[in-house]
Amino acid sequence: MKKIVKWLAAFAVVGALAGCARTVPVDNVHSTVSAGHTAEQVKAAILKAGPQRQWIMNEISPGVIKARQQSAGHIAEVRINYTATGYSINYDSSVNLMASGGKIHKTYNRWVRNLDKDIQIALASEAPLK
């Protein structure tokens, strides 16, 4: 019986450690924008990129967009601050993504990196003003 208890305890520890392996430090993105873009062009690129990856985008004030990603009971919300010279994507809140102590499920970072990549592509396709 003691042997079974020891095995169960060991299994619980391994299971807990495996769960931790799925969490990583939260990625906050800070990107610069090439010269010649306007704040409106940056805003348009962000609003174009988000829905391509199922982000729900809402402008909450000039220079600030809140974005929400929802998938299979997992929710991530970010705050995107932007100007003509750059933008940042910062973690705001989440549900079921194991967020704690500056760490979060690795899927969150993939969602944010993909959003950043799509914003960069949208900006590259938008000719800067000369």
Q: What does the pLDDT look like over 20-47, one tens digit per residue?
A: 569 999 999 999 998 899 999 999 999 9
Position 91 in a domain: yes
Position 54 in a domain: yes
Position 9 in a domain: no
- The residue range of the domain holding 84 is 25-125
Distance CA 86, CA 99 (A): 27
pLDDT in tens, 1-17: 666 655 555 454 444 44
Position 14 in a domain: no
Position 10 in a domain: no
Position 55 in a domain: yes
Q: What is the pLDDT of residue 16?
A: 46
Q: Give the CATH number for residue 72.
A: 3.30.310.80
Query: Is the pTM higher than 0.75?
Result: yes
Position 60 in a domain: yes
Position 19 in a domain: no
**Phi, psi values for residue 106, rounded to 5°:** -60, -25
Tell me 37's DSSP state: -
